[in-house]
Amino acid sequence: MAKVKKTPRPKAQTPKGFRDYFGADVSERNNMLETIGSVYHHYGFEALESSAVETVEALGKFLPDVDRPNEGVFAWQEEDSDWLALRYDLTAPLARVYAQYRNELPTPYRRYAMGPVWRNEKPGPGRYRQFYQCDADTVGAANVAADAEICMMLADILERLGIAPGDFAIKVNNRKVLNGVLETMGLTDVAQRDAVLRTIDKFDKVGVEGVRDLLGKGRLDASGAYIDGVGLSAAQADPVIAFLTSKGKSTAETLANLAQAVGSSPTGAAGVRELETIATLAAQAGYSSAKIDVDPSVVRGLGYYTGPVFEAELTFDILDEKGRKRQFGSVAGGGRYDDLVKRFTGQEVPATGVSIGVDRLLAALREKGRIASQERGPIIVTVMDKDHMSDYFDMVTELRGAGIRAECYLGNPKNFGNQLKYADKREAPIAIIQGESERNAGRVLIKDLILGSKLAVQATLEEWKENPAQIEVDRSDLVQNIQAILKKYT
Protein backbone atom coordinates (compact mmCIF):
# COMPACT_ATOMS: atom_id res chain seq x y z
CA MET A 1 0.00 0.00 0.00
CA ALA A 2 1.38 3.37 -1.02
CA LYS A 3 2.31 5.72 1.76
CA VAL A 4 -0.13 8.60 2.14
CA LYS A 5 1.63 11.85 1.35
CA LYS A 6 1.21 14.44 4.08
CA THR A 7 -0.19 17.81 3.16
CA PRO A 8 2.56 20.37 3.73
CA ARG A 9 1.92 22.92 6.45
CA PRO A 10 1.32 26.49 5.24
CA LYS A 11 4.09 28.98 5.90
CA ALA A 12 3.29 31.43 8.67
CA GLN A 13 4.45 34.59 6.94
CA THR A 14 2.92 37.87 5.81
CA PRO A 15 2.48 38.07 2.01
CA LYS A 16 5.09 40.18 0.22
CA GLY A 17 4.21 43.86 0.21
CA PHE A 18 1.80 43.62 3.15
CA ARG A 19 2.25 44.08 6.88
CA ASP A 20 0.53 43.26 10.15
CA TYR A 21 -0.51 46.02 12.54
CA PHE A 22 -0.51 45.37 16.28
CA GLY A 23 -2.15 47.15 19.22
CA ALA A 24 -0.23 50.45 19.46
CA ASP A 25 -0.06 50.87 15.66
CA VAL A 26 -3.82 50.39 15.32
CA SER A 27 -4.63 52.68 18.26
CA GLU A 28 -2.37 55.46 16.98
CA ARG A 29 -3.88 55.25 13.50
CA ASN A 30 -7.44 55.20 14.85
CA ASN A 31 -6.73 58.25 17.01
CA MET A 32 -5.32 60.08 13.99
CA LEU A 33 -8.30 59.14 11.80
CA GLU A 34 -10.68 60.29 14.53
CA THR A 35 -8.92 63.68 14.71
CA ILE A 36 -8.85 64.13 10.93
CA GLY A 37 -12.47 63.01 10.64
CA SER A 38 -13.55 65.50 13.31
CA VAL A 39 -12.02 68.38 11.31
CA TYR A 40 -13.60 67.16 8.07
CA HIS A 41 -16.96 66.93 9.85
CA HIS A 42 -16.47 70.37 11.42
CA TYR A 43 -16.04 71.81 7.92
CA GLY A 44 -19.38 70.32 6.85
CA PHE A 45 -18.18 67.21 5.00
CA GLU A 46 -20.26 64.02 5.33
CA ALA A 47 -18.83 60.55 5.81
CA LEU A 48 -19.02 58.04 2.96
CA GLU A 49 -18.01 54.40 3.16
CA SER A 50 -18.08 52.97 -0.35
CA SER A 51 -17.45 49.41 -1.46
CA ALA A 52 -13.87 48.13 -1.32
CA VAL A 53 -14.54 46.39 -4.65
CA GLU A 54 -15.23 48.21 -7.92
CA THR A 55 -15.54 47.11 -11.52
CA VAL A 56 -12.31 47.44 -13.48
CA GLU A 57 -14.30 49.55 -15.92
CA ALA A 58 -14.96 52.08 -13.14
CA LEU A 59 -11.29 52.08 -12.15
CA GLY A 60 -9.98 51.94 -15.71
CA LYS A 61 -8.56 55.44 -15.91
CA PHE A 62 -6.21 54.73 -13.02
CA LEU A 63 -4.75 51.49 -14.34
CA PRO A 64 -1.32 51.48 -15.94
CA ASP A 65 -2.47 48.97 -18.54
CA VAL A 66 -6.20 48.77 -19.30
CA ASP A 67 -5.72 45.75 -21.58
CA ARG A 68 -4.30 43.78 -18.65
CA PRO A 69 -6.69 44.58 -15.82
CA ASN A 70 -4.78 42.57 -13.22
CA GLU A 71 -1.80 44.93 -13.64
CA GLY A 72 -1.76 47.68 -11.05
CA VAL A 73 -4.73 46.38 -9.08
CA PHE A 74 -5.80 43.12 -7.48
CA ALA A 75 -8.42 41.97 -9.96
CA TRP A 76 -10.45 38.88 -10.82
CA GLN A 77 -13.18 37.99 -13.26
CA GLU A 78 -16.58 36.84 -12.14
CA GLU A 79 -17.95 33.89 -14.07
CA ASP A 80 -19.48 35.20 -17.33
CA SER A 81 -19.31 38.71 -15.93
CA ASP A 82 -17.17 41.80 -15.48
CA TRP A 83 -13.69 42.09 -14.10
CA LEU A 84 -13.72 43.27 -10.49
CA ALA A 85 -10.87 44.80 -8.46
CA LEU A 86 -10.02 46.01 -4.99
CA ARG A 87 -10.14 49.81 -5.01
CA TYR A 88 -6.95 51.50 -6.09
CA ASP A 89 -7.73 54.76 -4.27
CA LEU A 90 -10.76 56.53 -2.76
CA THR A 91 -11.32 59.03 -5.58
CA ALA A 92 -12.46 56.67 -8.34
CA PRO A 93 -15.15 55.14 -6.06
CA LEU A 94 -16.34 58.69 -5.27
CA ALA A 95 -16.76 59.43 -8.99
CA ARG A 96 -18.82 56.26 -9.40
CA VAL A 97 -20.93 57.00 -6.30
CA TYR A 98 -21.66 60.56 -7.39
CA ALA A 99 -22.57 59.48 -10.93
CA GLN A 100 -24.83 56.72 -9.57
CA TYR A 101 -26.65 58.78 -6.92
CA ARG A 102 -26.34 62.31 -8.34
CA ASN A 103 -30.11 62.86 -8.45
CA GLU A 104 -30.38 62.09 -4.72
CA LEU A 105 -27.24 63.87 -3.49
CA PRO A 106 -26.97 67.60 -2.75
CA THR A 107 -24.93 69.76 -5.09
CA PRO A 108 -22.21 70.49 -4.17
CA TYR A 109 -21.66 67.10 -2.56
CA ARG A 110 -19.05 67.23 0.20
CA ARG A 111 -17.80 63.90 1.46
CA TYR A 112 -14.88 62.43 3.39
CA ALA A 113 -13.73 58.82 3.34
CA MET A 114 -11.12 56.78 5.17
CA GLY A 115 -9.93 53.26 4.66
CA PRO A 116 -7.44 50.88 3.10
CA VAL A 117 -6.64 50.82 -0.62
CA TRP A 118 -4.74 48.15 -2.54
CA ARG A 119 -2.20 48.44 -5.34
CA ASN A 120 -0.68 45.49 -7.14
CA GLU A 121 2.71 47.15 -7.53
CA LYS A 122 6.26 46.14 -6.75
CA PRO A 123 6.79 46.63 -3.00
CA GLY A 124 9.85 48.33 -1.57
CA PRO A 125 11.13 49.93 1.65
CA GLY A 126 8.18 51.78 3.18
CA ARG A 127 6.07 50.97 0.11
CA TYR A 128 3.24 48.53 0.75
CA ARG A 129 0.49 47.04 -1.38
CA GLN A 130 -2.12 47.92 1.22
CA PHE A 131 -2.19 51.29 2.94
CA TYR A 132 -4.63 53.81 4.39
CA GLN A 133 -5.95 56.92 2.70
CA CYS A 134 -7.98 59.70 4.25
CA ASP A 135 -9.75 61.90 1.69
CA ALA A 136 -12.11 64.85 1.54
CA ASP A 137 -13.68 66.12 -1.71
CA THR A 138 -16.18 68.68 -2.91
CA VAL A 139 -18.02 67.60 -6.07
CA GLY A 140 -20.12 70.04 -8.09
CA ALA A 141 -18.44 73.32 -7.10
CA ALA A 142 -16.55 75.16 -9.85
CA ASN A 143 -15.77 78.06 -7.52
CA VAL A 144 -12.04 78.22 -6.72
CA ALA A 145 -13.07 79.03 -3.14
CA ALA A 146 -13.63 75.27 -2.77
CA ASP A 147 -9.91 74.71 -3.47
CA ALA A 148 -8.95 77.46 -1.01
CA GLU A 149 -11.15 75.86 1.66
CA ILE A 150 -9.44 72.48 1.20
CA CYS A 151 -6.06 74.15 1.78
CA MET A 152 -7.31 75.89 4.93
CA MET A 153 -8.80 72.65 6.25
CA LEU A 154 -5.54 70.82 5.59
CA ALA A 155 -3.61 73.44 7.59
CA ASP A 156 -6.09 73.05 10.47
CA ILE A 157 -5.70 69.27 10.45
CA LEU A 158 -1.92 69.43 10.66
CA GLU A 159 -2.09 71.79 13.62
CA ARG A 160 -4.70 69.64 15.37
CA LEU A 161 -2.39 66.66 14.95
CA GLY A 162 0.50 68.46 16.65
CA ILE A 163 2.45 69.85 13.69
CA ALA A 164 3.28 73.41 14.73
CA PRO A 165 3.05 76.42 12.39
CA GLY A 166 6.46 76.81 10.81
CA ASP A 167 6.88 73.03 10.58
CA PHE A 168 4.58 72.70 7.57
CA ALA A 169 3.56 74.55 4.42
CA ILE A 170 0.61 74.07 2.06
CA LYS A 171 2.03 74.76 -1.40
CA VAL A 172 -0.32 75.58 -4.30
CA ASN A 173 0.20 75.48 -8.07
CA ASN A 174 -2.18 75.29 -11.05
CA ARG A 175 -2.41 73.03 -14.09
CA LYS A 176 -3.97 75.86 -16.13
CA VAL A 177 -0.77 77.86 -15.70
CA LEU A 178 1.19 74.94 -17.10
CA ASN A 179 -1.28 74.61 -19.97
CA GLY A 180 -0.67 78.28 -20.69
CA VAL A 181 3.07 77.62 -20.78
CA LEU A 182 2.53 74.75 -23.23
CA GLU A 183 0.42 77.03 -25.42
CA THR A 184 3.15 79.66 -25.34
CA MET A 185 5.63 77.00 -26.46
CA GLY A 186 3.40 76.23 -29.45
CA LEU A 187 3.16 72.51 -28.68
CA THR A 188 0.20 70.87 -30.40
CA ASP A 189 1.40 67.26 -30.64
CA VAL A 190 -0.22 65.24 -27.82
CA ALA A 191 2.72 62.86 -27.46
CA GLN A 192 5.17 65.74 -27.22
CA ARG A 193 3.02 67.54 -24.63
CA ASP A 194 2.85 64.34 -22.56
CA ALA A 195 6.64 64.01 -22.80
CA VAL A 196 7.02 67.57 -21.48
CA LEU A 197 4.65 66.78 -18.60
CA ARG A 198 6.69 63.69 -17.69
CA THR A 199 9.87 65.77 -17.77
CA ILE A 200 8.41 68.47 -15.54
CA ASP A 201 7.38 65.73 -13.11
CA LYS A 202 11.09 64.96 -12.61
CA PHE A 203 11.91 68.51 -11.54
CA ASP A 204 12.33 67.66 -7.85
CA LYS A 205 14.80 64.90 -8.74
CA VAL A 206 16.94 66.44 -11.50
CA GLY A 207 16.60 70.19 -10.88
CA VAL A 208 16.42 73.04 -13.39
CA GLU A 209 19.41 72.04 -15.53
CA GLY A 210 18.29 68.43 -15.59
CA VAL A 211 14.86 69.48 -16.86
CA ARG A 212 16.46 71.73 -19.45
CA ASP A 213 18.63 68.84 -20.71
CA LEU A 214 15.68 66.44 -20.82
CA LEU A 215 13.56 68.94 -22.73
CA GLY A 216 16.40 69.19 -25.23
CA LYS A 217 18.70 66.39 -26.41
CA GLY A 218 18.82 64.40 -23.17
CA ARG A 219 21.23 63.71 -20.32
CA LEU A 220 23.20 61.06 -18.47
CA ASP A 221 21.42 59.80 -15.37
CA ALA A 222 23.09 58.89 -12.06
CA SER A 223 23.88 55.37 -13.30
CA GLY A 224 25.64 56.68 -16.40
CA ALA A 225 22.86 55.66 -18.79
CA TYR A 226 21.87 58.20 -21.42
CA ILE A 227 18.23 59.37 -21.29
CA ASP A 228 16.85 60.69 -24.57
CA GLY A 229 15.30 64.15 -24.39
CA VAL A 230 12.07 65.56 -25.82
CA GLY A 231 13.97 67.33 -28.60
CA LEU A 232 12.83 70.90 -28.01
CA SER A 233 14.92 73.91 -28.89
CA ALA A 234 16.35 76.12 -26.15
CA ALA A 235 13.81 78.83 -27.01
CA GLN A 236 10.92 76.36 -26.70
CA ALA A 237 12.22 75.14 -23.33
CA ASP A 238 12.57 78.66 -21.88
CA PRO A 239 8.86 79.07 -20.88
CA VAL A 240 8.99 75.79 -18.92
CA ILE A 241 12.11 76.90 -17.07
CA ALA A 242 10.52 80.30 -16.40
CA PHE A 243 7.45 78.51 -15.00
CA LEU A 244 9.49 76.22 -12.71
CA THR A 245 11.71 79.04 -11.40
CA SER A 246 9.04 81.72 -10.97
CA LYS A 247 8.94 81.54 -7.17
CA GLY A 248 9.53 85.07 -5.84
CA LYS A 249 10.17 86.65 -2.45
CA SER A 250 6.45 87.43 -2.10
CA THR A 251 3.19 86.04 -3.43
CA ALA A 252 2.72 89.12 -5.60
CA GLU A 253 6.17 88.64 -7.16
CA THR A 254 5.50 84.94 -7.80
CA LEU A 255 2.18 85.71 -9.51
CA ALA A 256 3.82 88.39 -11.64
CA ASN A 257 6.52 85.94 -12.74
CA LEU A 258 3.88 83.34 -13.61
CA ALA A 259 1.90 85.88 -15.61
CA GLN A 260 5.04 86.60 -17.59
CA ALA A 261 5.72 82.86 -18.12
CA VAL A 262 2.26 82.22 -19.66
CA GLY A 263 2.53 85.19 -22.02
CA SER A 264 -0.69 85.92 -23.88
CA SER A 265 -2.34 82.55 -23.15
CA PRO A 266 -5.95 83.05 -21.86
CA THR A 267 -5.81 79.63 -20.14
CA GLY A 268 -2.59 80.52 -18.36
CA ALA A 269 -3.94 83.91 -17.30
CA ALA A 270 -7.05 82.23 -15.85
CA GLY A 271 -4.78 79.90 -13.85
CA VAL A 272 -2.80 82.82 -12.43
CA ARG A 273 -6.05 84.55 -11.39
CA GLU A 274 -7.19 81.38 -9.61
CA LEU A 275 -3.92 81.23 -7.67
CA GLU A 276 -4.32 84.88 -6.72
CA THR A 277 -7.88 84.19 -5.49
CA ILE A 278 -6.72 81.26 -3.34
CA ALA A 279 -3.92 83.34 -1.81
CA THR A 280 -6.31 86.25 -1.13
CA LEU A 281 -9.03 84.07 0.46
CA ALA A 282 -6.46 82.29 2.64
CA ALA A 283 -4.90 85.56 3.80
CA GLN A 284 -8.30 87.08 4.59
CA ALA A 285 -9.16 84.00 6.67
CA GLY A 286 -5.96 84.39 8.70
CA TYR A 287 -3.75 81.88 6.89
CA SER A 288 -0.47 83.62 6.06
CA SER A 289 1.80 82.68 3.16
CA ALA A 290 3.91 80.80 5.71
CA LYS A 291 1.00 78.32 5.89
CA ILE A 292 -0.58 78.50 2.42
CA ASP A 293 1.69 79.68 -0.35
CA VAL A 294 1.74 79.85 -4.16
CA ASP A 295 4.70 77.70 -5.20
CA PRO A 296 5.33 76.66 -8.85
CA SER A 297 7.77 73.96 -7.71
CA VAL A 298 4.74 71.74 -6.90
CA VAL A 299 4.59 69.68 -10.09
CA ARG A 300 3.62 66.19 -8.93
CA GLY A 301 0.21 65.32 -10.34
CA LEU A 302 0.02 68.19 -12.82
CA GLY A 303 -0.52 65.62 -15.56
CA TYR A 304 -3.72 64.47 -13.84
CA TYR A 305 -5.29 67.58 -12.29
CA THR A 306 -7.21 70.17 -14.31
CA GLY A 307 -6.79 73.26 -12.10
CA PRO A 308 -5.27 74.10 -8.71
CA VAL A 309 -3.01 71.45 -7.21
CA PHE A 310 -1.74 71.52 -3.63
CA GLU A 311 0.68 69.63 -1.46
CA ALA A 312 1.25 69.63 2.32
CA GLU A 313 4.96 69.50 3.04
CA LEU A 314 6.59 69.10 6.44
CA THR A 315 9.60 71.39 6.66
CA PHE A 316 11.40 70.15 9.76
CA ASP A 317 14.58 68.10 9.52
CA ILE A 318 14.89 64.41 10.32
CA LEU A 319 17.86 62.05 10.17
CA ASP A 320 17.94 59.38 7.47
CA GLU A 321 19.31 55.86 7.91
CA LYS A 322 22.86 57.19 7.44
CA GLY A 323 22.44 59.97 10.01
CA ARG A 324 22.17 62.74 7.42
CA LYS A 325 19.69 65.60 7.81
CA ARG A 326 16.82 65.81 5.34
CA GLN A 327 13.36 67.29 5.30
CA PHE A 328 10.43 64.97 5.95
CA GLY A 329 8.59 66.01 2.79
CA SER A 330 5.04 65.63 1.55
CA VAL A 331 2.29 64.04 3.70
CA ALA A 332 -0.80 65.08 1.71
CA GLY A 333 -1.76 66.20 -1.75
CA GLY A 334 -4.71 66.97 -3.94
CA GLY A 335 -6.23 69.31 -6.45
CA ARG A 336 -9.03 69.94 -8.93
CA TYR A 337 -10.08 67.13 -11.27
CA ASP A 338 -13.04 68.31 -13.35
CA ASP A 339 -12.99 65.40 -15.83
CA LEU A 340 -13.35 62.37 -13.56
CA VAL A 341 -17.14 62.09 -13.22
CA LYS A 342 -17.50 62.83 -16.93
CA ARG A 343 -16.37 59.27 -17.66
CA PHE A 344 -19.70 58.06 -16.24
CA THR A 345 -22.11 60.85 -17.17
CA GLY A 346 -20.68 62.39 -20.34
CA GLN A 347 -20.96 65.77 -18.63
CA GLU A 348 -18.14 67.67 -16.97
CA VAL A 349 -18.60 67.87 -13.19
CA PRO A 350 -16.23 70.15 -11.25
CA ALA A 351 -14.52 68.50 -8.29
CA THR A 352 -11.63 69.16 -5.92
CA GLY A 353 -10.19 67.19 -3.04
CA VAL A 354 -7.27 66.12 -0.90
CA SER A 355 -5.76 62.81 0.20
CA ILE A 356 -3.75 62.51 3.41
CA GLY A 357 -1.04 59.87 3.79
CA VAL A 358 -1.88 58.46 7.23
CA ASP A 359 1.22 56.28 7.60
CA ARG A 360 3.57 59.12 6.67
CA LEU A 361 1.83 61.50 9.06
CA LEU A 362 2.14 58.96 11.88
CA ALA A 363 5.86 58.67 11.15
CA ALA A 364 6.13 62.46 11.23
CA LEU A 365 4.40 62.71 14.60
CA ARG A 366 6.72 60.08 16.03
CA GLU A 367 9.70 62.09 14.75
CA LYS A 368 8.35 65.15 16.56
CA GLY A 369 7.65 63.18 19.73
CA ARG A 370 3.95 63.95 19.50
CA ILE A 371 2.87 60.35 20.05
CA ALA A 372 4.35 57.60 22.16
CA SER A 373 5.82 54.58 20.41
CA GLN A 374 3.95 52.21 22.73
CA GLU A 375 0.50 52.11 24.25
CA ARG A 376 -0.08 51.19 27.87
CA GLY A 377 -1.70 47.82 28.36
CA PRO A 378 -4.66 46.98 30.60
CA ILE A 379 -4.68 46.52 34.38
CA ILE A 380 -4.05 42.80 34.99
CA VAL A 381 -6.05 41.09 37.72
CA THR A 382 -4.00 38.01 38.61
CA VAL A 383 -5.57 34.71 39.65
CA MET A 384 -4.35 33.04 42.85
CA ASP A 385 -7.24 30.60 43.27
CA LYS A 386 -9.31 29.23 40.36
CA ASP A 387 -12.17 28.48 42.76
CA HIS A 388 -12.67 32.21 43.28
CA MET A 389 -12.77 33.36 39.66
CA SER A 390 -16.01 35.24 40.33
CA ASP A 391 -14.16 37.46 42.83
CA TYR A 392 -11.51 38.32 40.26
CA PHE A 393 -14.13 39.02 37.60
CA ASP A 394 -15.93 41.30 40.09
CA MET A 395 -12.75 43.39 40.29
CA VAL A 396 -12.41 43.55 36.51
CA THR A 397 -16.06 44.52 36.09
CA GLU A 398 -15.75 47.25 38.71
CA LEU A 399 -12.63 48.70 37.05
CA ARG A 400 -14.23 48.66 33.61
CA GLY A 401 -17.32 50.31 35.06
CA ALA A 402 -15.06 53.14 36.21
CA GLY A 403 -13.68 53.55 32.69
CA ILE A 404 -10.41 51.74 33.41
CA ARG A 405 -9.05 49.24 30.89
CA ALA A 406 -8.68 45.89 32.67
CA GLU A 407 -8.59 42.16 32.15
CA CYS A 408 -8.48 39.01 34.24
CA TYR A 409 -5.59 36.60 33.61
CA LEU A 410 -7.08 33.63 31.74
CA GLY A 411 -4.00 31.48 31.23
CA ASN A 412 -2.82 28.71 33.53
CA PRO A 413 -2.65 30.37 36.99
CA LYS A 414 -0.46 27.68 38.51
CA ASN A 415 2.79 29.63 38.03
CA PHE A 416 2.34 33.15 39.44
CA GLY A 417 5.63 34.31 37.91
CA ASN A 418 4.21 33.65 34.45
CA GLN A 419 1.29 35.94 35.25
CA LEU A 420 3.66 38.80 36.01
CA LYS A 421 5.66 38.04 32.86
CA TYR A 422 2.38 38.26 30.94
CA ALA A 423 1.65 41.63 32.55
CA ASP A 424 5.10 42.88 31.49
CA LYS A 425 4.58 41.68 27.94
CA ARG A 426 1.23 43.48 27.82
CA GLU A 427 2.88 46.72 29.04
CA ALA A 428 0.43 46.64 31.95
CA PRO A 429 0.87 49.57 34.36
CA ILE A 430 -0.57 47.72 37.36
CA ALA A 431 -1.17 44.17 38.56
CA ILE A 432 -3.78 43.34 41.21
CA ILE A 433 -3.16 40.41 43.56
CA GLN A 434 -5.52 38.76 46.02
CA GLY A 435 -4.64 35.49 47.69
CA GLU A 436 -6.54 33.67 50.42
CA SER A 437 -5.19 35.80 53.29
CA GLU A 438 -5.99 39.08 51.51
CA ARG A 439 -9.46 37.85 50.57
CA ASN A 440 -10.26 36.80 54.17
CA ALA A 441 -9.14 40.22 55.39
CA GLY A 442 -11.09 42.08 52.68
CA ARG A 443 -7.88 43.46 51.21
CA VAL A 444 -6.02 43.47 47.85
CA LEU A 445 -2.41 44.06 46.80
CA ILE A 446 -1.77 46.66 44.10
CA LYS A 447 1.55 46.31 42.29
CA ASP A 448 2.71 49.45 40.45
CA LEU A 449 4.66 47.82 37.61
CA ILE A 450 5.88 51.11 36.13
CA LEU A 451 7.37 52.29 39.42
CA GLY A 452 8.69 48.81 40.15
CA SER A 453 10.52 48.74 36.84
CA LYS A 454 12.15 52.12 37.56
CA LEU A 455 13.15 51.22 41.11
CA ALA A 456 14.64 47.93 39.99
CA VAL A 457 17.06 49.81 37.76
CA GLN A 458 18.19 52.78 39.85
CA ALA A 459 16.70 52.83 43.36
CA THR A 460 18.56 52.69 46.66
CA LEU A 461 17.20 50.81 49.66
CA GLU A 462 15.86 54.07 51.14
CA GLU A 463 14.05 54.90 47.89
CA TRP A 464 12.48 51.47 47.92
CA LYS A 465 11.12 52.16 51.41
CA GLU A 466 9.92 55.68 50.58
CA ASN A 467 8.27 54.68 47.27
CA PRO A 468 6.86 51.18 47.67
CA ALA A 469 5.93 49.65 44.32
CA GLN A 470 3.37 47.41 46.05
CA ILE A 471 0.68 48.54 48.48
CA GLU A 472 -2.11 46.78 50.35
CA VAL A 473 -5.53 48.47 50.47
CA ASP A 474 -9.11 47.68 51.41
CA ARG A 475 -10.98 45.90 48.65
CA SER A 476 -13.62 48.64 48.75
CA ASP A 477 -10.93 51.24 47.91
CA LEU A 478 -9.59 49.38 44.86
CA VAL A 479 -10.81 51.74 42.14
CA GLN A 480 -9.86 54.88 44.06
CA ASN A 481 -6.27 53.69 44.52
CA ILE A 482 -5.93 52.51 40.92
CA GLN A 483 -7.10 55.90 39.65
CA ALA A 484 -4.56 57.68 41.86
CA ILE A 485 -1.69 55.57 40.50
CA LEU A 486 -2.76 55.97 36.87
CA LYS A 487 -3.04 59.75 37.32
CA LYS A 488 0.71 59.89 37.98
CA TYR A 489 1.43 58.55 34.50
CA THR A 490 -0.95 60.70 32.45
- Do 20 and 136 fall into the same domain? yes
- Do 383 and 371 fall into the same domain? no
* Segment 457-473 mean pLDDT: 70
Percent with pLDDT over 70 in the chain: 92
- Do 350 and 432 fall into the same domain? no
pLDDT at 247: 92
Which amino acid, 62?
F
Q: Is residue 257 part of a domain?
A: no
* Segment 74-81 mean pLDDT: 83
Structural domain harbouring 360: 16-142+338-375
* Segment 225-247 mean pLDDT: 86
> pTM for the complete prediction?
0.84
- Do 344 and 384 fall into the same domain? no
pLDDT at 459: 56
Instruction: Say which CATH number the domain at 78 has.
Output: 3.30.930.10
Q: Are 485 and 430 in contact (CB under 8 A)?
A: yes
pLDDT at 468: 80
- Do 359 and 401 fall into the same domain? no
Q: 375, 393, 427: which is the final residue of a domain? A: 375
Q: Is residue 313 part of a domain?
A: no
Q: Is residue 172 part of a domain?
A: no
Q: Are 483 and 399 in contact (CB under 8 A)?
A: no
- From residue 183, alpha-carbon distances to 167, 234, 308 in Å are 37, 16, 18
Q: Is residue 35 part of a domain?
A: yes
Q: Is residue 306 part of a domain?
A: no
pLDDT digits (tens, 9 = 90+) for 175-184: 999 999 988 8
Q: How confident is the model at residue 66 (pLDDT cuts 50, 70, 90)?
A: very low
* Segment 343-366 mean pLDDT: 89
Q: 324, 348, 375: which is the final residue of a domain? A: 375
Q: Is residue 271 part of a domain?
A: no
Q: 375, 402, 424: which is the final residue of a domain? A: 375
* Segment 361-369 mean pLDDT: 81
| Number of domains comprising the chain | 2
> Is beta strand 379-381 parallel, antiparallel or unpaired with respect to 430-433?
parallel
pLDDT digits (tens, 9 = 90+) for 397-428: 999 999 999 999 999 988 999 999 999 999 99
* Dist CA 209 CA 220 (whole Å): 12
Q: Which of 51-60, 106-115, 187-196, 236-245 has the lowest mean pLDDT?
A: 187-196
- Do 386 and 476 fall into the same domain? yes
Between 367 and 396, name the one with better pLDDT: 396
- Do 417 and 349 fall into the same domain? no
* Cβ count near 29 (within 10 Å): 18
Q: Is residue 255 part of a domain?
A: no
Q: Is residue 345 part of a domain?
A: yes
Strand partners, 325: 319
Q: Give kind and range of the element (H or E) at residue 118.
A: strand 109-118
- Do 110 and 125 fall into the same domain? yes
**In whole numbers, what is the pLDDT of the chain averaged over residues?**
88
- Do 354 and 472 fall into the same domain? no
- Do 364 and 398 fall into the same domain? no
* Dist CA 309 CA 174 (whole Å): 5
Q: How confident is the model at residue 462 (pLDDT cuts 50, 70, 90)?
A: low
Instruction: Say which CATH number the domain at 409 has.
Output: 3.40.50.800
- Do 28 and 138 fall into the same domain? yes
Q: Where are the alpha helices (DSSP H) in 227-306?
A: 234-244, 251-262, 266-284
- Do 418 and 367 fall into the same domain? no
Q: How confident is the model at residue 2 (pLDDT cuts 50, 70, 90)?
A: low
